[in-house]
Amino acid sequence: MRTLTVAAPAKINLSLDITGLREDGYHLLRSVMQSIDLSDYLTISLIDGPAAIKLTSEEKNLPLDSRNTCHRAAAYWLDLCGSSYSIIIDIEKNIPSEAGLGGGSSDAAAVLRALNSLSGDLLTDDELHRAALWTGADVPFCLAGGISLCEGVGEIIEPLPAMPEGHLLLLKPYFGLSTPEVFKQVDKMDKSELIDHKEIIPAVRQGDWGKLGKLTGNALQQAALALRPDLAEYLEILEETASQMVMMTGSGTCCYAVYDNEAACDAAERFVADRLPIGSSLFRSKTI
């Protein structure tokens, strides 16, 4: 038996725009994604023997069958590499669900990386990328990590130069929103927010958090607010701090603020903690 424990870092969207709709109903996106150090931890064991997948976790609400992205990633890896392995995956969850932080996608990417390492790199980088895309839209980015411009349904990834380290506060409401529900709401609404990546990308390349904060946006944020108007309270609390930018990540419901130094983040954390809505969670993190 070969065993490896790996981190599965969360992601935030530094921008998110909808660029089109495919015939199969999938929305085409353009987004700058950034890895952060809030992580799940996975222990993956690879055993010679008949094909089998077993998931374990102390997280009570986590599905441990084919509904879990880790299971889907492992099953697809087995399909590509043959059926002579059994796989055991233990998942330590720290990334909240229905938050827009890509926890499930990052877990799946970590499984693919670990299985390939444990097997002596049976899959090429291109094959791993295809396996990631098959597993889920954000999985290819999570496989690569860092900061990238991601387009299409996640298959087009352009690495970008690292921004200066951003100190983050993540404010997760007590409620979540499902991604399909948010996209259904988007389709009912007029697209009024224009996000210009021709300006956003230069701000990223310049490493200017303040400029990025003035230019960027999330095309899903208004839909999320339409479904849960109380989400506005969380954004407003963060906007009262001395941050470089405030935005909801992904399809929500987690909102985040970026600070360019630790002292500013410390002060903001004290301010937000005193105003934390009942049932919500506050996390500290950094960009990686």
Show which residues are catalytic: 11, 138
Dihedral sign for Cα 40, 278, 262, 31, please: positive
Give the count of beta carbons closer than 10 Å to the beta carbon of residue 79: 12
The position carrying tokens 């958090």 is 209
Q: Within a 13 Å sphere around the CA of 51, how many CA atoms are in the beta-carbon half?
A: 12
